[in-house]
């Protein structure tokens, strides 16, 4: 049986390693060697969905977690995934998207029109003032917004985009999941309407009739 002194010494040493783990690169990974890409929506409890500790308690340490609108693959999501997989010891990527997503609620071209009505030239946008080389081509703004027609389809395509990206090592395990806000349960993405009958998973559920701009090049 350890003495209290020994227990406290071990606990302090473990915490010091936890606090300074980025100094060790691949030898100081997060607890699960995991990168999570998920939506910024406040109704998506990533710890509950995956059974890990990222947000609760704060600094739980199980994963690097990247949130954006929709939980979709973007240049900055790729940037973060590239860093954690190539330099910080991460071996797995999990994509978590969800039903009732705000990225289903409107057509991206309508959102672009709203901005244009405010006097914003969407063909001359500086995406990142610290990196002026990062630009959109003319007419690409609506695609860049990243609205979706179908959550399950988008999740599948996001996973495939990670798998096919040259900056992501081929031995990284990649999977995608859907959190049902209505039922508070996790499931695999599916095109079977019977398996998602009680959920809002498409733009049709929001009354949006027009197809989104064709952001994706991966077919399923």
pLDDT at residue number 218: 46
Domain limit, last residue, from 125, 146, 167:
146
What is the count of structural domains for the chain?
Answer: 2
CA distance 75 to 165: 11
Enumerate residues 6+ apart whose C-beta is below 8 A from 185.
179
Domain limits for position 196? 30-106+152-206
Q: Is position 60 within any domain?
A: yes
The closest alpha carbon to 102, from 156, 39, 144, 49, belongs to: 39
pLDDT at residue number 217: 53
pLDDT at residue number 58: 78
Tens of pLDDT, residue by residue, the chain (220 residues): 899 999 999 999 989 998 999 999 999 999 999 999 999 999 999 999 999 999 888 788 999 999 999 999 999 999 999 999 999 999 999 999 999 999 999 999 999 999 999 999 999 999 999 999 999 999 999 999 999 999 999 999 999 999 999 999 999 999 999 999 999 999 999 999 999 988 999 999 999 999 999 887 544 4
**CATH code for the domain in which residue 166 is found:** 3.40.1050.10
Q: Three-class SS string for 83-127?
A: HHHHHCCCCEEEEEEECCCHHHCCCHHHHHHHHHHCCCCCCCCCC
pTM for the whole structure = 0.93
The closest alpha carbon to 159, from 92, 101, 215, 204, belongs to: 92
pLDDT at residue number 219: 47
Same domain assignment for residues 86 and 158 = yes
Same domain assignment for residues 36 and 133 = no
Same domain assignment for residues 160 and 81 = yes
Q: Is position 127 within any domain?
A: yes
Same domain assignment for residues 142 and 175 = no
Domain limit, last residue, from 124, 146, 168:
146
pLDDT at residue number 118: 97
CA distance 41 to 71: 9
């Amino acid at each position: 049986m350890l003495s209290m002194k020994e227990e406290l010494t071990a606990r302090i040493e473990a915490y010091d390693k936890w606090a300074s783990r980025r100094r060790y690169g691949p030898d100081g990974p997060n607890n699960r060697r995991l990168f999570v890409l998920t939506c910024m929506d406040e109704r998506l409890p990533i710890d509950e969905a995956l059974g890990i500790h990222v947000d609760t308690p704060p600094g739980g340490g199980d994963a690097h977690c990247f949130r954006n609108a929709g939980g979709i693959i973007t240049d900055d999501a790729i940037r973060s995934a590239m860093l954690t997989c190539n330099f910080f010891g991460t071996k797995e990527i999990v994509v978590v998207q969800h039903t009732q997503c705000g990225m289903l609620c409107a057509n991206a071209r309508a959102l672009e029109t709203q901005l244009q009505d405010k006097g914003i030239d969407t063909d001359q946008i500086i995406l990142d003032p610290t990196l002026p080389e990062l630009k959109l081509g003319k007419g690409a703004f609506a695609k860049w917004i990243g609205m979706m027609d179908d959550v399950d389809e988008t999740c599948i395509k996001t996973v495939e985009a990670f798998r096919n990206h040259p900056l992501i090592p081929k031995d990284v395990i990649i999977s995608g999941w859907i959190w049902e806000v209505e039922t508070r349960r996790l499931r695999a993405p599916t095109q079977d309407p019977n398996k998602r009958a009680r959920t809002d998973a498409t733009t049709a559920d929001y009354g949006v009739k027009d197809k989104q701009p064709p952001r994706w090049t991966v077919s399923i």
